[in-house]
Structures are given as C-alpha cells and as structure tokens.
Amino acid sequence: MSNYVFLGPPGAGKGTLGELFSRRMGLVHISTGALLREEMSSGSELGLQVKDLISKGGLVSDQIVSAMIAKRLSQPDVLRQGCLLDGYPRTAAQADSLQEILNENQRSLEAAVLIDAERQLLVTRLSARRVCSNKDCGAIYNVQTKPPLKEGVCDRCSSALYQRSDDSEQTARERLRVYEEQTAPLIEYYRQRQLLVITYSKDVEAEENYRCLCEALRQAGKANRGCCAKNKV
C-alpha cells in the first residue's frame, strides 16, 4: 500500500487537501495534532507524558512524536490501507526517523508532496483562522478555505469558535519565517531522494486545488493506484 507525506507552509491547505486525498485514495489520514490529542485521551503512558509536557508549556520532543508515529504506523489499518502523514515530519531528523519506521514495517514512501502557495495568500488565510473553544475537540477552521457549516459554531461538537489573539498578520509572517527556517529544508531532503512532488494551492475552490494535486502526482508517476485519475469519492 502507498504512503504519502504532505509538506508545505502553514495556511497552504494541507489539512483540507489531506482529507480529500485520503478519502479518495482510501488512505488513513494521520494528523500529528489529532494523534497527540488521541494519545492524551487514551491515557497511555506515552499520552500521559505528552499531557504533562503540554500542561507545563513544554514542547513535545522529536523522540516522543516519532514514537507516536511508529505506534500508529504499525497498526493494522495503516499496514492494510497505507497512509497520508500531515504534520510529520517537520525536520530532517524526523524524516530520518520516518524512514526507519517505514523500513521496520517493510513499507516505503510513495511521495512527499509539497503544497505551496503565494506568501500573501498564506498570510490572509492564516489571519482568517477560527478555533473550537472546546479543548477536547480542538478543531480548526478557516473562514475562507474551510468555513464551518454554521458561522461561529464547530461542526464536530457544536461549541463556539473563536479567533486567537495571536492570529494576526504579524504572527502569520513569523510562522512563515519559522517554517522557512526549520521545515523548508525538507524540500531538498526529499528532492535528493527523488520523492518530491510540487503542487500549488490557489485562491480557488478546494476541488480545483485537488485536481492540481492529482495532476502533479500523475505527471510524476506517483499515483500508483490510479485513484486520482478515477476521481474516486
């Protein structure tokens, strides 16, 4: 089964495209943020470590995140269906860990898809973010690219949505700077391994950006199972 990584700056639409791609390709969509929340809710030893770190304002280490990914990638549904990783890896060290995890499971990476976008568009999108006020849910929306079904209300748990005080243009530009500094080197990492596929997110409907993604994969010969070509739903 095929396994994919989605890369790209914050605001590029990795989450939205990842959900579409996973559903239509029959892949397990693994979001690092969701995985962290699930692990904490499970009460596992690893989840308790994460909860303790976050409660103290600390950062979850590469080692812990990679351990969570290793645990998830060894589960039957992923081994059977393949997966899409959204939010991992973020660094070259994490990419090395991912390769080791895949090797241990006798799996490989089909492609690392870079979803890029014009920087001003990213700033606009990031400034339009809304977050669920229910901490156990944590759903994230964007009033432009991924609005809730009902304005100001979370689709998942019906809690109120709010705009975080740090979702400003200045903060958005800082997030992009950090991305360029810490995560962008992964582009060269995967280019050297001939796994990089690039697509561009534009200010259009998600379906149009999805078609561009599929076309980029087809041209690179990285859509092995042909699901994109069938536009499977």
Report, as residue numbers or ranges, the catalytic residues: 14, 90, 129, 164, 175
| DSSP letters spanning 162-227 | E--TT-SHHHHHHHHHHHHHHTTHHHHHHHHTT-EEEEE--SS-HHHHHHHHHHHHHHHT--TT-H
pLDDT over 50 at 231, yes or no = no
Q: Tell me how far apart the alpha carbons of residues 113 and 93 are, in angstroms, rounded to a whole number.
A: 18
- Domains annotated for the chain, with CATH where assigned, are 3-118+182-230 (3.40.50.300)
Q: Tell me how far apart the alpha carbons of residues 10 and 19 are, in angstroms, rounded to a whole number.
A: 16
- Residues 40-94 have pLDDT tens digits of 888 888 888 888 877 776 667 888 889 889 999 999 999 999 999 998 998 889 9
The least confident of 36-40, 81-85, 166-170 is 166-170
- Residues 170-224 have pLDDT tens digits of 888 888 998 888 888 899 999 999 999 999 999 888 899 999 999 999 999 876 5
Please calculate the CA angle 18-143-158 and round it to the nearest 5 degrees.
85
pLDDT over 90 at 125, yes or no = no
Least Cα distance to 105 among 82, 138, 121 occurs for 82
Q: What is the average pLDDT across 152-158?
A: 96
